Structure 1
Amino acid sequence: MKVEKPSILIYLFVLLISSCNLGTDPGNMPEEEVLVFSPTRFYVSVNGDDSRPAKEANNPLTPWKTIQKAVDNISGGDTILIAGGTYLEKVIVSESSSGTAENPTLIRNIPGETVTLNGNNEGSQWESLFKVTQAEHIEVRGLSAINGYWYGFSADETNHIKFDSLSTDNTRASGIYSRVTSFIEITNNKIRRACQAQERDAQGNGTQECITVGRTYNFKISHNEIWDVPLAGEGGEGIDAKGGCFNGEISNNYIHDIARVGIYLDAGSHEEYNIRVFSNKVVRCGGGLSVAGELGGHIRDIYLYNNLLVDNTRSGVVFQNIMNGRFSNIYIVNNTFFNNGQVGFAGEIGNFSQNELNTNLQIVNNIFYNKTDNFRFSIFHNLAAPHVIHNNLYFDFKPGWAGGDNNFSQANLTALDVQADPLFIDIDSQNFALQATSPAISKGVPFKLPDGSSLFTTDFNGEIRSGGTWDLGAFQR
């Protein structure tokens, strides 16, 4: 029997030790303890052989050759460990690979090794380099997808899925895409140069967004970095939760240097609700955050707080007026806006909706800092989009529409608002925490929802906001 060269220099085959650790998550093991013989672990290497029986692929010295061979031949709850190398295949993980809540199926790289799926920009629309479909309790970690004709990684009609520590580069559509999925976590991923196909197809479909979740509920999109999408084609937003998503979290993401908006929530023609967007940093994008009902849908119970929106070309937050979508219970609380709204009729917050059913739109405890020459307004809202606006700091306040019916002007400010330099610690290094003498300190209100609860009791860094007054902006001093 041919034996391949090991993918690392030393394997520790200590069967007594490994037999005691069969149920241990390899992601939490020291690297030298991962590569052990086990009936529940299967190995893949570009130097492997798919003709081998499963009992040989349990051994790291006799792996299979392709990832697809492994996912087609494991039992639910098994682990697939993939050696470093470039794999020219499109992987589909289906129902037969499903794990359980107690014992999910794990597909990952051997720790420390680089596993790359390369699509060579070949294929057809809607294909993924790695797709999970009609399966459940699947965890995918530590893999890279490049040159995908369409998606990098996707989940379709699935539940209880984790995409963690993945990377994608140069995909024609989304780096990571989810459709009709529940209980999905998309965390710690790096998405670069997604949505490179700039045109719509004959049916009017665009190229989606860098991370997309559609008709998805109970989702978490957190601690991802998304960047380098310089062309504003038919798609390309940073993160989009759309088409009736609900019960979601978008948090602690760093989105920068993309031509479209950083984070987009779009109900489409559906009802979309209960989504928390917090502690994200959106820098040098076409816009910061945007909410919409592009096909006349209703978006409600949306919580935008502790976000940093910095140097974005268009407005920091926009309520879209597309197909007269409806907005209810939208809370914009304790965010820091810095020099957004640099081109066109744009500013820090713009609500262009004309739907007279809009209700309970609140803008409280924010810092609006804007010294750019083309800055047009601090807050603009249509009369059909009533707002409650108080306890904000403005540095270089500009009215929404001087002399017009939709004006949010100097006359609308009260003693609860502050007009002064917020005294950030260091603008040049983008440190937007507050100096000890900042006029934003203790000028905020402890903000509660109508039922008396609060989602806003920690700041951008997770520090507790307590007491009878809060600081303005994303950071509590």
Structure 2
Amino acid sequence: MSFHTKPGVPSFINHLQPENDSDPMSIFPARIKGSLIVFALALFLSSSLVSASTYYVATDGNDGNSGTSTSSAWKTIQHAADTANGGDTVYVMAGTYNEHVSITKSGSSGNYITFAAYSGQTPVIDGTGKVGNWDGIIHISSANWIRVAGLTVKNSAWNGIMIDNYGGSRASNIIIQNNLIRDIGYTGLYAENSDYITYDGNTVANTQTNGNGGPAGSQQNENVDMIGVNNFEIKNNKIYATAHFESIDLKIGTSTGSVHHNDISPTESAGIYIDAWDAQSGNIDIYDNYIHDSSNAGTRGIAIGAEQGGSAKYINVYNNIVANLAATGINIPWYSKGTVDNVKIINNVVYKTDTLSQWAGGIGIQANTNGGTTTNIIVRNNIVSQNGVAQISNGIGSSATITNNLIDGSGGVTGSNYVTGSPQFVNAAGGDFHLQSSSPAINNGISTDAPDKDYDGKSRPQGNGYDIGAYESGGSSACTPNWQCRQPLDGYEHDANNCGSADRLNSACNAPSTCTPSWKCESPLNGYESDGCNNRRTNSACNPPPSGTTPPAPGPLPPPTSSLGEAVDNTAFRWTTVGDADWFGQTSTYYSGGSSAQSGKIGGGQSTWIKAKATGPGKLKFHWKVSSEPDRDILKFYIDGWQQSKISGDVDWQEKAYSIGPGIHILKWKYSKNNRVSSGSDAAWLDKVEFIRMP
């Protein structure tokens, strides 16, 4: 970990004590739940006291407008931030905003100022040339009751979204939700000396691109940071393809909170790291995270330390899945100068970690050789399977309690009441770590310290005893879904009880609109039509007429006659086609259902694409086919502008599958030609597009 805050800014860190010295796990994990219930009740009671307004921002707006409708939208998000008050919502419409947004105005208790993407649109804040040192594209400084949701934030020489006390007081009650943060020099999500901070459903990628260089000339923090933060929650985020350093770092006295249901592929160092540094950190639950798939040296799953003499105490690590990493899965390292105490590592799956055999195995409790102490560590009900060096290593002797684990592999210690053999996962290679019915992990765990729910939210136990590992075998969840509209409104509802049900469409949850679409050809004719609500699409009826003919008068047009949704067996997505020719539905070539979408006829140097939006997290599958000049005319698939795969030549129907992270993502299939030579049918096809939302 590298610790850097803005020079001259005090820490104001509140050094908290454990809530129950005799048995902190007696409130595990009710501590977090109870505080959230009280907080939600207070929010509910106060929310009706403020008269709220709704404002709009559009790239073709004007800051001299009223901002109260899409037709009178403001032009800049900064103007909205300077104007909005507690309870107000600012909807940002599609387009790219080359801005630095400074938020210093606060909402009031329970009345957030919300900055959100307009329903169904994906606005981009591009910080190119706008972000100076110790700053972020969005910078929330000493403000309270702020929510930022559904935006793409990219291209910063320093940070992405930044929360701090640089205005003189601690920021508090900030929600950063369902955003895409990418292409950032240093930290994607940064919070310092603040309280009640939530990161929920964000995707963070290609951050820390400066590494040990950039404007600072050295490492500046990590990819997702909490520094001196009290009362926090980091949940449902996807963090991948980062350039350097820890994925999530909770440091310098960060206390009282949880990290859960995140999907993390670390690039360097730990996926989740608690480093008290020289302060006191504690009362933190890390659970239901999936940390996986990195072959880079040093990539660990979860690590806990106090590098410069502080203390990390009362940490609960449970129901996590840590798999396929080059270094230790769950690690209490050797290099702390301070104290690591009262850590419980319970009901985790640690599979094929330390593959380079350079660290401490699956679960590694290392002897401290740097002047610190490690005491009262419990390792119980974990599956440790096929890890390098050791399944469990223990360098602190009787200061560790190791019981009721399943050991599958050689090296290290076993502890007491252990079982051995293959855990018989359903499909470990495919990332499914549920247990087959004959697994030796079933009924061989112990109730002591076991969480009351498993990774799926299923109650423990289900059989004659508690199972070992993150999943409880058998039975079904007794959880009853509580469906509520997602906030800010985006057309979906979610299960507020987190029973494992995917979010689902509900028109009652659509964002309010003051605009009625009326599709007309743009003038002069250019192949596009617009609806008067900042939406446009291609339409061949709007193409310019051939030279020497009289153009038709622009007027209302019906929707395109071909149904791309029906052609690809997915009418849940809103499909659009853009480029030099439109994709279209046809019935002569298909994988299933009697139809597919086919690329339009294009010439040399031209391209055509079909695209849709998906709200994750979820699993995407589709079938595609191409008949083209090999290595010259190519069908490519993109997620959020990043190429995922491509095919060229004569390729029959292939199935592709991808995991989609939380938030709104753009899916695009693009067929392009690089010269005028044609081969085969000179076309591409798409069919059977399936998207299953995950909890």
TM-score w.r.t. length of structure 1: 0.82
Distance 1:336 1:274, change over 3 A: same
Q: Find the aligned partners of 1:68 and 1:122 in 2 and give their Cα distance.
A: 13
Query: How far apart in 2 are the matches of 1:323 and 1:341?
Result: 20
Shift of 1:121: 5.9
| 1:58-107 CA-partner distances (Å, limit 9, x unpaired) | 1221111100011112222211111111001100110x3x1123321111
- Label 1:62 to 1:39 Cα distance change in 2 as closer, same or farther (>3 A): farther
2:378 is aligned to: 362
Higher mean alpha-carbon deviation, 243-252 vs 381-390, is at 381-390
CA distance in 1, matches of 2:457, 2:86: 37
Counterpart of 1:349 in structure 2 is 363
1:385 and 1:209 map into 2 onto residues whose CA distance is 34
User: Which residue of the other structure, out of 459, 465, 484, is the alignment partner of 1:464?
Assistant: 459
Larger Rg: 2
Q: Is the Cα–Cα contact under 8 Å of residues 52 and 89 in structure 2 kept in the other structure?
A: no
Aligned equivalent of 1:41, options 54, 71, 77: 54
Residue in 1 aligned with 2:17? none
Give the Cα separation in 2 of the matches to 1:390 and 1:74. 56
Identity %: 27
Hey, what does 1:72 align to over in structure 2?
82
CA distance in structure 1 between the aligned counterparts of 2:184 and 2:230, rounded to whole angstroms: 25
Say which is worse superposed, 196-205 or 311-320, in terms of deviation.
196-205
Give 2:110's match in structure 1, choosing from 95, 102, 111.
102
Query: Is 1:140 paired with 2:148?
Result: yes
Give the structure 1 partner of residue 137 of structure 2: 129
User: Over residues 318-374 of structure 1, what are the superposed CA-to-partner deviations in whole Å (9 max), with x where a residue is unaligned?
Assistant: 112334221111000000011000122341122224257432100000001116xxx
Q: What letter corresponds to residue 281 of structure 1 in structure 2?
A: Y
SS class of match (1:86): strand
Which of 218, 240, 243 in structure 1 is aligned with 2:252? Answer: 243
Matches within 5 A, 1:208-227: 208-227=221-240
Map 1:289-368 → 2, pairs under 5 A:
289-343=302-356, 344-354=358-368, 357-368=373-384
Amino acid at match of 1:318: N
Q: For residues 131 and 317 of structure 1, what CA distance do their matches in structure 2 show? A: 34
Quick check: 1:172–1:207 contact (8 Å CA) kept in 2? no
User: What are the within-5 Å matches in structure 2 for residues 403-442 of structure 1?
Assistant: 408=413, 413-414=415-416, 416-442=417-443
Distance 1:466 1:228, change over 3 A: same
Q: CA distance change for structure 1 residues 183 and 257 in 2, over 3 Å: closer, same or farther?
A: closer
SS of 1:170's partner is strand
Q: By how many angstroms is 1:202 displaced?
A: 9.5
CA distance 1:385–1:80, change in 2 (3 Å): farther
Letter in 2 for 1:347: G
> Which position in structure 2 is the counterpart of 1:59?
69
Distance 2:265 2:133 in 1: 27
Question: What is the CA–CA distance in structure 2 between the aligned matches of 1:129 and 1:429, rounded to whole Å?
Answer: 37
The two structures have a TM-score, normalised by structure 2, of 0.57
Q: Which runs of 5+ in 1 are unaligned?
A: 1-24, 26-37, 400-407, 449-453
Q: 1:163 touches 1:187 (CA, 8 Å); kept in 2?
A: yes
Contact kept in structure 2, 1:397 and 1:419, CA below 8 Å: no
Task: Note if 1:166 corresponds to 2:179.
Answer: yes
RMSD: 2.1
Q: Give the letter for the 1:435 counterpart.
A: Q
Conserved? CA contact 1:165–1:188, under 8 Å: yes
Aligned residue pairs: how many? 411
1:154 aligns with 2:189: no
Whole-angstrom CA distance in 2 between matches of 1:191 and 1:339:
25
- For 1:72 and 1:192, how far apart are their aligned partners in 2? 29
What corresponds to 1:272 in structure 2?
281
Inter-partner Cα distance in structure 1 for 2:73 and 2:359: 60
Evaluate the alpha carbon distance shift between residue 67 and residue 152 of structure 1 in structure 2; reply closer, same or farther with a 3 A threshold: same
Note the residue ranges of structure 2 that are not aligned, 5 or more in a row.
Answer: 1-43, 45-50, 166-170, 474-695
1-structure distance, mates of 2:337, 2:420: 34
Deviations 1:243-276 (A, max 9, x none): 1011110000000152221110100101100000
Q: Which amino acid aligns with 2:121?
A: E
1-structure distance, mates of 2:172, 2:409: 48
Deviates more, 1:114-123 or 1:75-84: 114-123
Q: Aligned ranges for residues 248-259 of structure 1 at < 5 Å?
A: 248-259=257-268
Is 1:294–1:325's contact at 8 Å kept on the other side of the alignment? yes
SS in 2 for 1:322: coil
